[in-house]
C-alpha cells in the first residue's frame, strides 16, 4: 500500500457503507462494503474488509453470537491495524480503539450477560478531510 492510496478520498460505495455502519445497519454495511472490497484492485481493499468485519462483529453481538463476534473482531482488527492512524479520511485509530473497547466489554460480560451490554459502545466511523 502506498501513501498515495491513503491520501485519496473514499469512493462513494465506501461512503455509503460507512453511513450504514454508523446508523447501526450492520448487515447492510456488509453487503455494501463487500462490493467495494471486491471491486477495489489496490491493497486499500483490506481497509474496507476490516471495516466490514468489525461491522459484522457488531451484528453478531446484536444476534447474541459472542463467539462469532469475537472471531470477526480479531480478523477485522488485524486488517485495520496496518491503516492506523488513518487512511482515506477514515480515523482508523479511533475505530480500532472503539472496536477493542466493545470487544473487551462483550467478552467480559460473556454470552449469558450479553444483553446487558451498553449499546452506546458500538463504534462509529469518523471521517476527516472528506
Sketch out the chain's domains with CATH numbers: 9-121 (1.10.3450.10)
- pLDDT, residue 88, reads 95
Please determine, for residue 14, whether its predicted confidence score (pLDDT) is greater than 70: yes
Task: Express each pLDDT in 59-98 by its tens digit.
Answer: 999 999 999 999 999 999 999 999 999 999 999 999 999 9
Q: What is the DSSP string of the chain?
A: --HHHHHSPPPHHHHHHHHHHHTT-HHHHHHHHHHHHHH--STTHHHHHHHHHHHHHHHHHHHT-HHHHHHHHHHHHHHHHTT-SEETTEEHHHHHHHHHHHHHHHHHHTGGGGGGS-GGGS--PPB---
**pTM of the predicted model, to two decimals?**
0.95
Q: Please, which pLDDT band fits residue 128 given cuts at 50, 70 and 90? A: confident
- pLDDT, residue 58, reads 98
What is the average pLDDT value for the chain, to the nearest integer? 95
Query: 128: how many CB neighbours lie within 10 A of its CB?
Result: 10
- pLDDT, residue 1, reads 63
Strands 90-91, 86-87: pairing is antiparallel
Amino acid at each position: 500500500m502506498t501513501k498515495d492510496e491513503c491520501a485519496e478520498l473514499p469512493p462513494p460505495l465506501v461512503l455509503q457503507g460507512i453511513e450504514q455502519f454508523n446508523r447501526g445497519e450492520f448487515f447492510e454495511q456488509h453487503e455494501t462494503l463487500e462490493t467495494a472490497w471486491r471491486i477495489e484492485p489496490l491493497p486499500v481493499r483490506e481497509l474496507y474488509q476490516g471495516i466490514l468485519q468489525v461491522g459484522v462483529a457488531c451484528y453478531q453481538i446484536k444476534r447474541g453470537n459472542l463467539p462469532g463476534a469475537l472471531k470477526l473482531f480479531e480478523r477485522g482488527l488485524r486488517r485495520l491495524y496496518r491503516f492506523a492512524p488513518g487512511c482515506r479520511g477514515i480515523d482508523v485509530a479511533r475505530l480500532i480503539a472503539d472496536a477493542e473497547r466493545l470487544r473487551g466489554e462483550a467478552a467480559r460480560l460473556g454470552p449469558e450477560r450479553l444483553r446487558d451490554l451498553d449499546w452506546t459502545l458500538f463504534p462509529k466511523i469518523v471521517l476527516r478531510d472528506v
